[in-house]
Amino acid sequence: MPPLVVLLTPDYADWEFGMLAAPARSYCGIEVLAASPDGEPVSSMGGLISAVDMAFADIDLRETHALAVVGGMSWSHDPMPDISELLRAARWDGRLIASICGGNRALAAAGLLDRVQHTSNAASDFDAIAAYTGHDFYRPANSALRAGNIITAPGTAPVSFMKKVIEGLGRGGSELDHFASLFAYEHEMCTMAAA
């Protein structure tokens, strides 16, 4: 299977990348490659310096099964990285495209969310995206949402995001269900304790 390519920007969200890449690679046997805007190492929000495999411009969609755009601080600054051409080409080629948190803004800027149900941290995430016309398709959600080959998630939902991406790649099963349920159990226990 061609790899899953995860797009990382400076100050990317550690927990979103780690929650996707670790189970995909270690438990499900999916090759995970990372890309940055210029192919240089990037620092996460937590200060982790991450080496990458390529620059955004070097991503070859013929050799890529899916793209995942990880959130982070770069997506909320102007100008944010422009990956619209890459995302539209991936959509045209029928690739799985996933984004979480601020990464959803990249999909909105590319026009990929204009006519499909999608979610994010809040509807206001897209207010500054002039090209975005998908307001009627926005759905407030606490977990990842899949519409065809597009997966979106709020930053508070890295577990359901991971699960939907891995399932979208045709992997998963009982081991993945069990892995995801462990995190759900922790959340359920914390919610019960706070009540």
Element (H, E) at 158: helix 158-168
Region 16-42 average pLDDT? 95
Q: What is the pLDDT of residues 47-61, one digit of tens each?
A: 999 999 999 999 999
Structural domain including 78 reads 4-194
Region 173-195 average pLDDT? 72
* DSSP code of residue 150: E
pLDDT at 84 over 80: yes
pLDDT at 166 over 90: yes
pTM of the model: 0.94
pLDDT at 174 over 90: no
pLDDT of residue 185: 67
pLDDT at 189 over 60: no
pLDDT at 27 over 90: no
Q: Are the C-beta atoms of 81 and 108 separated by less than 8 Å?
A: no
pLDDT of residue 193: 65
CA distance 83 to 105: 11
List the CATH number of the domain containing 16: 3.40.50.880
Structural domain count, the chain: 1
Provide the pLDDT confidence category of residue 5 given band limits of 50, 70 and 90.
Answer: very high
Among 82, 6, 79, 83, smallest CA distance to 44 is for 6
* More confident: 183 or 113: 113
